[in-house]
Chains A and B, each alone.
Chain A
Amino acid sequence: MNPPILKRWWQKLTRTRVGRSIFRVGLPGSNLERSQAMTSSFLLHIQPAKVHKHSLKAGYSLGLGLISLYLLFILIGTGVLLMFYYVPSTERAYNVMKDLQFVVSAGLLVRNMHRWAAHMMVLFVMLHLCRVFYTGAYKRPREFNWVIGVGLFLMTVGLSFTGYLLPWDQLAFWAITVGTNIAGYAPIIGPKIKFLLLGGNVVGQEALTRFYALHVIVLPTCTLLMVSIHLWRVRKDGGLSRPDEPSEAVEQIPLGQLPTNKSYGLMELARGTTPQVGKNPEDEVFSWPNLVFREILLFLLVTAVVLFLAIFWNAPLEQYANPIHPPNPAKAPWYFLGLQELVSYSAFWGGVVVPGLLVTALLVLPYIDRKRVGVGRWFARERVVANSIFTVCLLAAIVLTIIGTLFRGPNWGWVEPWQQPPAVVEGH
């Protein structure tokens, strides 16, 4: 039987002189070439030539980290496109939004994709954090990678926060007013941070300029750097976390008595956690095609979902920013509504203390919960205490978010979503 037509074309292309010079290995036919395909390509060499079977199990990782990464790619792509039109000016920014909607070819689609991918990224980074917790994947040697991951979560939230000032609509203006005022409640340095963020005392042109710089260059650069370190460490720690293998397979190899049938790099001998040390080769499969094709498939799926959302639902745009009248109720996006609900009890406790303690708890978690048990399994019984505490916090956050989203009406008063909200009476 002849190979499919695309494969034949590809083979023909890689056999030409030019094709050979670019791709070198061509379509791998042997195991040697499968390794070479990974190591000889700049884009693929970031990944190992062989990957543990456990890392490929969709039911273990759910692909949440990869999905977050792909959403970041989509956000960078659409974000750069938006930059070709956007002007960070309080007078022009809102008009650019209208131009994107009504004048620019595919402008609405690009803005919608950027908005929905941003929402999805916040969601999937949160889910990824939950997955890593429930599988105990933050334990030795991955403690510091968890810390970087928490940093990436904060970066994601910071990117979305700085992003929504940019349209200069009502949501933008009042979300930034409320957000920077929360920062102002931080002890001692709070008012100074607020002044620095806004570049003054009021939300105006200076604030827009600063948030623009943060959104398009400072935070994305930091995020990409941290993502690189995050992925590098996953690779150096031997792929995704997995249950410890039976100890009989682990055989300490004394230095200088290396078996001759396998070549070891210095790096791989430096520590005992790398993929090559003391492990059955049968547990590994070639990254080409097992890993690469799964990744491509997942990327297509994520892109399709974002496109679907962007085609059928428009990104909201409220009225032009009005510093006199906040909308009533003035609501942040869903991922900040739990925080807004907390803040409606006390700005200091809800806006500074509780989030500060939660982030601190996440950062120090791997150094407190040090026992290496239940790694690599969902909801391991040995981790019932840690899992319970985490679940309680998670449920509290979900309940607060639901209350803030559905049960709060004008003046942040209690409403029941199945009832008509009371008419707002405003008088001066």
Chain B
Amino acid sequence: MNHSSPNEPDDVSRRGFLQLTLGWLAGTFAIAASAAGAIRFMVPNVLFEPSQVFKAGRPDDFPDGSVTFLEDERVFLVRQGNTYRCLSAICTHLGCTVNRAGSGYHCPCHGSVFDEQGSVKGGPAPRALTWFQVTLSKDNRLLVDKGRTVAADKYLVLPTSA
């Protein structure tokens, strides 16, 4: 309904103004709420993914000075003396699995090169490979938590008698 007089076509009556404002507001809100609801629907609330925490085995399963690739977890377990560390094998560039090459690591997808500390030595990788926290469980197993990252110089140190 248009209540404005023919002489002043731009004049909007109070009723017209309210109708317009409320109408547009309601329409905008309905569309925005539906879109927001649809997007929220797409975000899963439960993930059926493998646990980030896993037991890697007994400390003595890994010989001194070894770098062991744990396939299922896509990590390298590094033992030097009685220190233990765990390095992610997922390239920080675009998520391929890096291969051991010499003392460092090579990514087959786009040619990133990392040294034994995981630092970038070449290629497009933007960051060093990630180190994960290693602890010892009560039943004397190495416990790796891929949810917790640590600095490259953090070790799990075990008594030599272990």
Closest to B68 in A: A428
Q: Tell me the smallest distance from the CB of B126 to a CB of chain A, in Å.
A: 7
B111 interface contact, C-beta 8 A: yes
Task: Report whether B42 and A174 are in contact in the complex, using a CB–CB cutoff of 8 Å.
Answer: no
Binds A, one of B17-25, B91-99, B133-141: B91-99
A410 interface contact, C-beta 8 A: yes
A204 interface contact, C-beta 8 A: yes
User: Which residues from chain B contact A330 at a C-beta distance below 8 Å?
Assistant: 96, 108-109
Considering only residues 177-220 of chain A, those with a C-beta below 8 Å from chain B are 177-178, 181-182, 195-196, 199-202, 204-206
User: Which residues from chain A contact B16 at a C-beta distance below 8 Å?
Assistant: none
User: Which residues from chain A contact B42 at a C-beta distance below 8 Å?
Assistant: 196, 199
Task: Report whether A200 and B44 are in contact in the complex, using a CB–CB cutoff of 8 Å.
Answer: yes
Separation of A370 and B64 alpha carbons in the complex (Å): 71
B154 interface contact, C-beta 8 A: no
User: Which residues from chain A contact B44 at a C-beta distance below 8 Å?
Assistant: 199-200, 206
A347 interface contact, C-beta 8 A: yes
Separation of A75 and B76 alpha carbons in the complex (Å): 44
Separation of A121 and B28 alpha carbons in the complex (Å): 38
Chain B 52-92: CB-based contact to A (< 8 A → 1; otherwise 0): 00000000000000011101101010000000000000000
Closest to A326 in B: B96
User: Which residues from chain A contact B71 at a C-beta distance below 8 Å?
Assistant: 324
Separation of A347 and B97 alpha carbons in the complex (Å): 16
Separation of A45 and B141 alpha carbons in the complex (Å): 75
Separation of A325 and B72 alpha carbons in the complex (Å): 11
Separation of A201 and B49 alpha carbons in the complex (Å): 8
B110 interface contact, C-beta 8 A: yes
A411 interface contact, C-beta 8 A: yes
Given contacts A174-B96, A200-B49, contact A428 B124 (CB under 8 A): no
Task: Report whether B108 and A328 are in contact in the complex, using a CB–CB cutoff of 8 Å.
Answer: yes
B162 interface contact, C-beta 8 A: no
Task: Report whether B94 and A428 are in contact in the complex, using a CB–CB cutoff of 8 Å.
Answer: no
Task: Report whether A343 and B74 are in contact in the complex, using a CB–CB cutoff of 8 Å.
Answer: no
Task: Report whether A427 and B123 are in contact in the complex, using a CB–CB cutoff of 8 Å.
Answer: no
Across the interface, A428 reaches (CB within 8 A) one of B93, B95, B100, namely B100
User: Which residues from chain B contact A347 at a C-beta distance below 8 Å?
Assistant: 93-94, 124, 126
A413 interface contact, C-beta 8 A: yes
User: Which residues from chain A contact B106 at a C-beta distance below 8 Å?
Assistant: 411
User: Which residues from chain B contact A412 at a C-beta distance below 8 Å?
Assistant: 108-111, 123
Task: Report whether B47 and A200 are in contact in the complex, using a CB–CB cutoff of 8 Å.
Answer: yes
Closest to A204 in B: B49
Q: What total of chain B residues lie within 8 Å of the partner, measured CB to CB?
A: 31
A289 interface contact, C-beta 8 A: no
User: Which residues from chain A contact B76 at a C-beta distance below 8 Å?
Assistant: 428
Considering only residues 330-360 of chain A, those with a C-beta below 8 Å from chain B are 330, 340, 343-348, 350
B101 interface contact, C-beta 8 A: yes
Q: Tell me the smallest distance from the CB of B124 to a CB of chain A, in Å.
A: 5
A272 interface contact, C-beta 8 A: no
Task: Report whether B49 and A177 are in contact in the complex, using a CB–CB cutoff of 8 Å.
Answer: no
A329 interface contact, C-beta 8 A: yes
Separation of A330 and B47 alpha carbons in the complex (Å): 28
Given contacts A174-B96, A427-B99, A428-B100, contact A411 B126 (CB under 8 A): no
User: Which residues from chain A contact B96 at a C-beta distance below 8 Å?
Assistant: 174, 177-178, 326, 330
Separation of A326 and B93 alpha carbons in the complex (Å): 14
Given contacts A200-B49, A345-B124, A348-B126, contact A427 B100 (CB under 8 A): yes
Closest to B113 in A: A411
Given contacts A174-B96, A343-B94, contact A326 B49 (CB under 8 A): no
Separation of A195 and B49 alpha carbons in the complex (Å): 13
Q: Tell me the smallest distance from the CB of A17 to a CB of chain B, in Å.
A: 52
B151 interface contact, C-beta 8 A: no
User: Which residues from chain B contact A350 at a C-beta distance below 8 Å?
Assistant: 124
User: Which residues from chain B contact A344 at a C-beta distance below 8 Å?
Assistant: 110-111, 123-124
Task: Report whether B109 and A329 are in contact in the complex, using a CB–CB cutoff of 8 Å.
Answer: yes
Q: Tell me the smallest distance from the CB of A187 to a CB of chain B, in Å.
A: 14
Task: Report whether B124 and A346 are in contact in the complex, using a CB–CB cutoff of 8 Å.
Answer: yes
For the complex with contacts A426-B101, A428-B76, 19 further pairs of A-B residues with Cβ separation under 8 Å are: A181-B94, A196-B42, A199-B42, A199-B44, A200-B47, A324-B71, A324-B72, A324-B97, A325-B97, A326-B96, A326-B109, A327-B108, A343-B94, A344-B110, A344-B123, A347-B126, A413-B111, A427-B101, A428-B68
- A interface with B by C-beta (< 8 Å): 174, 177-178, 181-182, 195-196, 199-202, 204-206, 323-330, 340, 343-348, 350, 410-413, 425-428
- B interface with A by C-beta (< 8 Å): 39, 42-44, 47-49, 67-69, 71-72, 74, 76, 93-97, 99-101, 106-111, 123-124, 126
Interchain residue pairs with CB less than 8 A apart (17): A177-B94, A178-B95, A178-B96, A181-B93, A181-B95, A196-B43, A201-B49, A204-B49, A206-B48, A324-B74, A327-B108, A329-B108, A346-B126, A347-B93, A347-B126, A427-B100, A428-B69
